[in-house]
Amino acid sequence: MTAPQTPDDVPQDGEPTPGGEAARPTPAWPVRDITDPRELRALAHPLRFALIDLLAEGPLTASQCAEKLGESPASCSYHLRQLARYGHVEPAGGGHGRERPWKSRDGGIRWDESTAAGRSAGRLLAQTVDEFRFDSWRRYRDNDAAEPAEWRDAALSTDMLAWLTPDELRDVTQRIYDIFGEYEHREDDATARPDAARLVRFFAYAYAGFAGRRAEERGE
């Protein structure tokens, strides 16, 4: 899965949680660790994040990216080169200049917020990610009438509540990762995609709300 992940989405493999509890959930797709705050700040640019997301659909030139995103080819070309500088995209082969196709190298990303610099840069990137996700959903909702009924009926928008322990929440998250992991091979193998398949975006947030804390933890 190519969409970048936040540090809470994708922890280090086998990383223990406080108190020595079970490791956090881990996805099946490759995840890249970022330790340089400068790289995090470089990614925290709305257009650069949009370019990485767009290239998840397949290789595109700067001119093609510009047409899809409503930006100038010069701007897309510049930001693609900056992403290539940090290894998030690379030339796909063929073409020259703005007609050179680019492809994404990211499966997912995670970063360390244990330092002040990493925390500041990480929060900035997380904000960019959140804004992009919700803007994408709003664009879909504004235009969903144009979608075939079968796709509208299959789409999901929900808000659910459940009383869970930390272990149970980790299990729910891991099961979501495992389900999507079953389709990971289709990303690189177009022949494995059914004729009716389209790139589907799925993003989720699961967290313990303040109202669910015990009275003594709330200081009551």
Beta bridge partners of 11: none
- Does residue 51 surpass a pLDDT of 60? yes
pLDDT digits 0-9 by tens, 97-119: 788 999 988 677 888 788 888 88
Contact 86, 52 (CB under 8 A): no
Flag whether pLDDT at 3 surpasses 80. Answer: no
Domain 32-212 is in which class?
A: mainly alpha
Check pLDDT > 70 for residue 47: yes
- Which helix (H) or strand (E) segment holds residue 50: the answer is helix 46-55
The alpha carbon dihedral of 78, 79, 84, 86 has a sign of: positive
The overall average pLDDT reported for the chain is 85
pLDDT given for residue 22 in this prediction = 62
Instruction: Give the model's confidence band at 29: pLDDT under 50 very low, under 70 low, under 90 confident, else very high.
Output: confident
Question: What is the rounded average pLDDT of the residues 72-86?
Answer: 95
The β-bridge partners of 102 are 60, 91
The pLDDT tens digits for 125-177 are 999 999 999 999 999 999 999 999 999 999 999 999 999 999 999 999 999 99
Predicted local confidence at residue 60, as pLDDT: 96
Residue 9 CA to residue 110 CA, distance in Å, equals 8
- State the pTM of this model: 0.76
Residue 195 pLDDT > 70? yes
